[in-house]
Copies of this chain bind each other. A is one copy, B any other.
Amino acid sequence: MLPRFGLPVLCLAALIPALAAAAPEREFPSEEGMLSVRTLAEGLKHPWALAFLPDGKGMLVTERPGNLRLISSEGQVGPPISGVPQVWATGQGGLLDVALSPTFKIDRLVYLSFAEGGGEGGTAGTAVGRGQLSADLAHLDDFKVIFRQLPKLSNGYHFGSRLVFDRDGYLFIALGENNDRLSAQDLDKLQGKVVRILPDGQVPKDNPFVGRKDARAQIWSFGHRNQQGAALNPWTGEIWTHEHGPRGGDEINIPKPGKNYGWPLATHGIDYSLMPIPETQGKHVDGMVDPHYVWEKSPAISGMAFYDNPRFNAWQHNLFIGALAAQSLIRLKLEGDAIVHEERLLGPLNARIRDVRQGPDGYLYLLTDAEDGALLKVGLEP
């Protein structure tokens, strides 16, 4: 004989997967209206970056320990995709950014940035490579490294990094300085640089330091600290980057060829110990470019997305940036290139936000940095 409440209990159990798929929606107030936040996926290990596949096939998500996974638009998390390179998963190192080739539909190339070991004395550096995603989305074939940050100087700190293609098809890589401050000013090292290469890793002939013996030809701009954000401004076609300051001095820059963005000679920040940075001469140094926008108190920024989708008109011409220490999503209102207003969103979530992207459906997609990290889908209520 069946227990008295057997049938209702069975019914509830059958409903659980459906409930998980239609995850609970939370609401948070904002200046532009009520935000709706849906948790699409959980249990991601320090997820770092996401890239949308075309044709509604979902997105590729990196986890810092070294896995690349397919997550469907509904949030179903796939097994690790094979063919991903061995990464140096120590400290801030591991599998970092992911970007699709601008002609992904034709070449199916997926670009990854990651920390790679093998440096002197056990050090590591950032590397970038590409492989071809198989038709069944299960493996990356023929993965090849096309860029290495040399020398390798990191003991676990400041690998950057973000990958972004400009409209002409050049690949920009925003790098960290491996916590080796003065290397950011050394043109013979690839630390603390924005780099510009061809999709196969070759050096464009019109890079600013081509032909100089004392400089590496991949360099586009220098004097950067730890860059974890880069995006193409859809209204101007320019690449924007941002970087962590030390204590204070997180910056947004619009890197121009051959220019010096100051670190560590010019910064608004001080050392974590509250002492001045030994090499710093001031907030402004002649011949170096001031930040386009600066935070005196560091939110610890990561990921960035320009919003240009017609779905939520109130967000048009806004720039969204994740914040780790500040545990919020930063909304910056733009007028032309000028940032005229800042708002901090989603504070009550208490989540370290590692990446933010605009989805093809016009929603914002966030990754939270945690041992049990989540993929969030954020919209504005009507």
Contacts and interface: CB of A to CB of B under 8 A. Distances in A.
Interface of A: 54, 102-106, 168-170, 198-199, 204
Contacts of A103: 102, 168-169
Nearest to A200: B106
A203 to B, nearest CB: 11
Contact of A204 (B106, B170, B198, B204): B106
Contacts of A106: 168-170, 198-199, 204
A103 B104 CA distance: 14
15 contacts: A54-B168, A102-B103, A102-B169, A103-B168, A103-B169, A104-B168, A105-B168, A105-B169, A105-B170, A106-B168, A106-B169, A106-B170, A106-B198, A106-B199, A106-B204
Given A103-B169, A105-B170, 13 more contacts: A54-B168, A102-B103, A102-B169, A103-B168, A104-B168, A105-B168, A105-B169, A106-B168, A106-B169, A106-B170, A106-B198, A106-B199, A106-B204
Contacts of A54: 168
A205 B341 CA distance: 47
Nearest to A165: B103
Contacts of A104: 168
A223 to B, nearest CB: 26
Nearest to A107: B169
A291 to B, nearest CB: 28
A54 B167 CA distance: 12
Nearest to A54: B168
Contacts of A168: 54, 103-106
A371 to B, nearest CB: 38
Nearest to A206: B105
A48 B253 CA distance: 44
A367 to B, nearest CB: 26
A156 to B, nearest CB: 35
A53 to B, nearest CB: 12
A65 to B, nearest CB: 33
Contacts of A204: 106
A18 B288 CA distance: 43
A105 B198 CA distance: 10
Instruction: Enumerate the 3 nearest inter-chain pairs by beta-carbon distance, A residue then B residue, closest first.
Output: A103-B169, A105-B168, A106-B169
Contacts of A102: 103, 169
A106 B106 CA distance: 17
A309 to B, nearest CB: 13
Contacts of A199: 106
Contacts of A169: 102-103, 105-106
A168 B168 CA distance: 13
